[in-house]
Structure 1
Amino acid sequence: MSEFSGDDAGGGEVDVADEKVSAKDTREVIMEATFRALAKRGYTDLRMRDIGDEMELTRQVIHYHFDGKNDLLASFLRYVAEQYEGSVEVDESADPWTELQARIDQCLFGPEFDEFGHWERMKVYHELFAHAQNDDRHREILDEHYDQIKQSIVDVVEDGMEEGVFREVDAELVGQLITDVIHVGRERRISLGHDDAPKETRRAIDEYILDSLVVDGGPE
């Protein structure tokens, strides 16, 4: 059986080796165990048994749901994307400027997690990103996530132009530029150890991209 699909994904129960847990809980347990295992072992040296060692459920649960390491990591990448796509909190009445700021902050500084902080998760994410060139399925998932991040920014910029708070620009190009700058800023902190990179990236976005969007009399 591959990934969590059908009735299992809807919160049904799976009975494996006398362990009965909801499919939703099982998925989260496995995904969080994958985070811990990847943080310790890295992508290249990761084995299924390493993930099993990081959770209280039996290793059989992993093999019940996934057809090997690549299948599990594909689901893991979707899990990471879901955490960031669904956690931007903006009031429905918020103006485009406020929403754009919130989305940029989310990508750069992340939401709060009970276990494993934003940068620990980004370290794992960016390692898988680097290996995507060798895996078509992983590249497709990461490409979808990139497009979702970019499009969320494009949509806000377009809304701002319609409301007259942003000047007329190529929203697609602005969305791509902001997304790329965010990605490089995160990579600089993770790979080069430049702890100030996120704040410097945020300042650069403010001063050289966002300030250029504002029409006369708009927010500063």
Structure 2
Amino acid sequence: MGSTEETVGSKDTREVIMEATFRALSEHGYSDLRMRDIGEEMELTRQVIHYHFDGKRDLMSSFLEYVAEQYEGAIDVEEYDDPRAELEARIEQCLFGPGFDEFGHWERMKVYHELFAHAQNDEEHQAILDEHYDAIKDSIVRVVEDGIEAGVFRDVDAERMGQFITDAIHVGRERRLSLGHDDAPEETQAAIEAFVLDSLYVDDESGPA
């Protein structure tokens, strides 16, 4: 227990609890999850968790916000001065995830998509996930709008384009997780590139549409 206590002392307590929640959810699933299961992943008593959260539902709300933060903030926009490169990077990250030191992208997506399915029965969780969906979609919409303004993209309905791409990404991940189609993310990425992005990009030789 000593090493875990040192970790809790040196890292943000919320992050330690959230990462333990990832592991516990992956092992037990949402329906069977107990606060004690999360505590065991930290080798600490569940009283530590109860000190910070008012029960399982409150913890799950914070957990969903934590997942959203990991994915929404992982792209460094300043790296990209080309809307096309930024759009492709955002799509790739949503499909394949940012890098994690431990407990990788697909393990995290397994947990995320399970909670996504349960959100239909919880208005608070639904609102958090809806806000996350909008943040991802809006980030794509913004890039499309920037590309249109710069003459890199054709003049399309950016809102609908962002929604379509976001939905395609979600289904591609779900197909891998729920149906065991391991190539689904790569197939989704290839389909978006062939049937969406190729028609979005302005022909360099012809200039802006």
| TM-score, scaled to structure 1 | 0.87
Matching residue within 190, 193, 196 for 1:203: 190
The 3-state SS of whatever aligns with 2:12 is helix
> How far is 1:40 from its partner?
0.3
When residues 92 and 208 of structure 1 are mapped into structure 2, their CA distance, relative to the original with a 3 A threshold, is same
**Per-residue displacement from partner, 1:42-63 (whole Å, max 9, x unpaired)?**
0110011111110033321100
After alignment, is 83-92 or 143-152 more displaced? Answer: 83-92
- Distance in 1 separating the partners of 2:81 and 2:6: 46
Please name the residue that 2:152 is paired with.
165
Q: Which of 162, 166, 173 is residue 186 of structure 1 equivalent to?
A: 173
* 1:102 aligned partner, one-letter code: A
- Alignment partner of 2:128 out of 141, 145, 150: 141
Q: Secondary structure at the match of 1:49?
A: helix
1:125 corresponds, among 108, 112, 115, to 112
Could you tell me how far apart the structure 1 residues matched to 2:68 and 2:28 are? 21
Q: What stretches of structure 2 of length at least 5 have no aligned partner?
A: none
Contact 2:95 2:173 in 1 (8 A): yes
Give the C-alpha shift of residue 25 in structure 1.
1.3
Say which of 74, 77, 94 aligns to 2:81.
94
Structure 1 match to 2:30? 43
In 2, distance between residues paired with 1:46 and 1:89? 35
- Larger % of helix: which? 2
Describe the superposition over 1:123-179 as per-residue Cα deviations: whole angstroms up to 9, x where unpaired: 000000000000000000000000000000000000000000000000000000000
8 Å Cα contact 1:30-1:55 kept in structure 2:
yes
Q: What is the letter of the counterpart of residue 107 of structure 2?
A: E
Counting only pairs closer than 5 Å after superposition, residues 67-78 of structure 1 correspond to structure 2 as: 67-78=54-65
| Kept after mapping to 1: 8 A contact 2:8/2:16 | no
Hey, what does 2:40 align to over in structure 1? 53
- Find the aligned partners of 1:209 and 1:125 in 2 and give their Cα distance: 26
The unaligned stretches of length 5 or more in structure 1 are 1-17
How well do the aligned residues superpose, as a CA RMSD in angstroms?
A: 1.8
Which ranges of 4 or more aligned residues in structure 1 deviate by more than 2 Å?
18-24, 89-94
Partners in 2 of 1:93 and 1:65 — Cα distance? 38
1:107 aligns with 2:104: no
Once the two structures are TM-superposed, the CA of residue 114 in structure 1 deviates from its matched residue by: 1.0
Say how many residue pairs are matched.
Answer: 201
